Amino acid sequence: MGYVDVAGAGFVLPDGRELFSDVSFRVGEGAKVALVGPNGAGKTTLMRMVAGDLPMQDGTVARSGGLGVMRQFIGMIGDDRTLEDLALSLVSPPLRASGERLRKATAALDETEKSQIAYANAIANWGEVGGYDAEVLFDTVAVSILGKPWEEAKSRVVRTLSGGEQKRFALDLLLRGNDEVLLLDEPDNFLDVPAKRWLEQRLRESNKSVLYVSHDRELLAETADRVVAVEGGSAWTHPGGFASWHEARSNRHERMEELRRRWDEEHEKIKELVFMLKNKAAYNDGLASRYQAAQTRLRKFEEVGPPPLPPKDQAVKMNLRGGRTGKRSVICEQLELENLTFPFDLEVWYGDRVAVLGANGTGKSHFLRLLAAGGTDPDVEHKPVDGAPLAHVAHDGKARLGARVRPGHFSQTHDRPELVEKTLVEILWRGDEHRSGMDRAGAMKALNRYELAAQGDQRFGTLSGGQQARFLVLLLELSGATMLLLDEPTDNLDLASAEALEEGLKAFEGTVIAVTHDRWFTRSFDRFVLFGSDGEVVEVPEPVWDVR
């Protein structure tokens, strides 16, 4: 059994701002500990410090047992890793190194004695470090998740899998593996609801010690033994589960406010005493010693400093505007996504709020990407705005966009390589034609509404997943899109940001089509289109989470 002890951890950002300090918590043997908190508070940074990806600037991390790590994003566009690469990245360093050595030796194998000896040595080393047991594990997971043996699946490029398939493969491999400690950053992202329930059950049954980040309240309630809240520049631990965490947080904030009120009152009393003794000592030398003692008391009181105030709640304000379009926003006629769906018809009207539901791998994201590219007959009027470069979606039939429909696409993987090295202010200030009139002051004002002003001079690629998601919504807001195509927009958003998005969508004058597995978010929609695992696409009167 493994454990993790974090003591006095602190981290300062490259621009000199302190992200958090004096963070201490323990993940006991077999415990399931959830890290929660606002986007950008430092949850992923803490996970990377525990994993050893980032050096400890302050404090220490003690760990016992093998460590398995699943990071927030696995297969991004432009990432040409194979499933074998992914599997090796999730095993122990010795096994990973041996696997790389064997692959290189295999690729270099020819008729020469030198290459044959190198290959034989690599095979021997692979067996010594447990490689054949790992191959059995890889095969078991590949059959379980993908329905294919490892020899057939291992050369597949990871980004060709759906986000849910990527996550389930990584999760199943880690949960079946030998590592006693697991670090899981947003493990539920990209999972459909049946897969989330599968994850909940597997975590409950596992005897591994697990530290994980999640914003899915149901998963947290079902799995967390204790909650570590990262907020206000530090962290605190709630020893109970997530169901009682909100009440505990409220009580904690009340105590903090009471302690601060008492400190302020005592501070004022001491200052008044010093002022009074100062005036009296001017006329009575006998009071000089009392005046000096009061000054000393005030100085020591102020040196200790006031107790911290409760962290400020977020106030994200999304002003999604949109614009008037033709009555029909989307017209699909016998549209068939190759190898994914049977032909289907669909009409979406101006102002509709359509939730696209269904299991992973049924074609939902492909459908959004096709619409984002302008449908099957794109023209200048339907030029997509503020979206990542869109790959061709193989299809038959027709999908047309209505008059004055300008699609804006939000990708679930935040795959915007052209933004990675730019700061947020640079993107807005020197942005494309839709934002060319915005100066730095305007950019900072827009960022402030999304609580991103402090990250204005930070590169997009260094933001947390939630901060990236908020910024991408801001780009949609500024783009002039009249139809929003949102692929899992709440996956990385904390609760406050997700609520702000929901309020923003209510005020949006246009059409919204969203792929989502967020049960809470789905309640804000009025139409539901189900992509079935059998290839059928139908409209249903209410959300369907498990087609069975």
pLDDT tens-digit profile of 210-221? 999 998 888 898
> Distance between CA atoms of 57 and 16, rounded to whole angstroms?
13
Same domain, 140 and 70: yes
Average model confidence (pLDDT) across the chain: 88
Residue 338 lies in a domain: yes
pLDDT at 250 exceeding the cut of 70: yes
pLDDT confidence of residue 5? 95
Same domain, 45 and 171: yes
pLDDT exceeding 90 applies to what percent of the chain? 51
Same domain, 9 and 143: yes
At 482, list the tokens: 């009249």
Residue 155 lies in a domain: yes
Selected residue with higher pLDDT from 94 and 382: 94
Buried b (16+ CB within 10 A) or exposed e, 10-39: bbeeeeeeebbbebbbbbeeebbbbbbbbb
Cα 500–Cα 505–Cα 511 angle in degrees, nearest 5: 165
pLDDT confidence of residue 388? 47
pLDDT confidence of residue 294? 92
pLDDT at 432 exceeding the cut of 70: no
Contact 532, 540 (CB under 8 A): no
The contacts of residue 231 (CB under 8 Å, 6+ apart) are 37, 38, 41, 311
> Distance between CA atoms of 524 and 352, rounded to whole angstroms?
11
Torsion sign across C-alpha atoms 461, 463, 466, 472: negative
Q: How many domains does the chain have?
A: 3
| DSSP run (H or E) holding 18 | strand 18-27
pLDDT confidence of residue 437? 55
Same domain, 183 and 295: no
CATH number of the CATH domain containing 473? 3.40.50.300
Domain boundary among 214, 241, 268: 241
**pLDDT per residue as tens digits for the range 316-329:** 788 888 888 889 99
Q: Which domain holds residue 506?
A: 328-540
**pLDDT per residue as tens digits for the range 502-526:** 999 999 999 999 999 888 889 899 9
Supply the pTM of this predicted model. 0.72
Same domain, 142 and 121: yes
**pLDDT per residue as tens digits for the range 158-198:** 888 877 788 899 999 999 998 999 999 989 887 888 888 89
Taking phi over 0 as left and psi of -120 to 50 as alpha, with beta for the rest, 404 belongs to: left
pLDDT at 287 exceeding the cut of 90: no
pLDDT confidence of residue 436? 46
Lowest mean pLDDT of 32-36, 259-263, 379-383, 533-537, name the range.
Answer: 379-383
Domain boundary among 186, 217, 241: 241
Domain boundary among 196, 221, 241: 241
Give the residue among 432, 11, 506, 85 at the shortest CA–CA distance from 234.
Answer: 11
Same domain, 202 and 254: no
Give the residue among 190, 232, 275, 208 at the shortest CA–CA distance from 36.
Answer: 232
The contacts of residue 138 (CB under 8 Å, 6+ apart) are 84, 87, 150, 154, 173
**Strand-by-strand arrangement of the 395-401 sheet:** 344-349, 328-337, 395-401
pLDDT confidence of residue 433? 41
At residue 489, φ and ψ (nearest 5 deg) are -70, -25
Q: List, in sequence order, the alpha helices (H) in 147-244.
A: 150-153, 163-176, 193-205, 217-223
Residue type, 177: G
Residue 253 lies in a domain: yes
Same domain, 379 and 295: no
Token pair 């980032």 is found at 54
Taking phi over 0 as left and psi of -120 to 50 as alpha, with beta for the rest, 485 belongs to: beta
Same domain, 58 and 206: yes
Give the residue among 28, 29, 71 at the shortest CA–CA distance from 52.
Answer: 71
Residue 316 lies in a domain: no
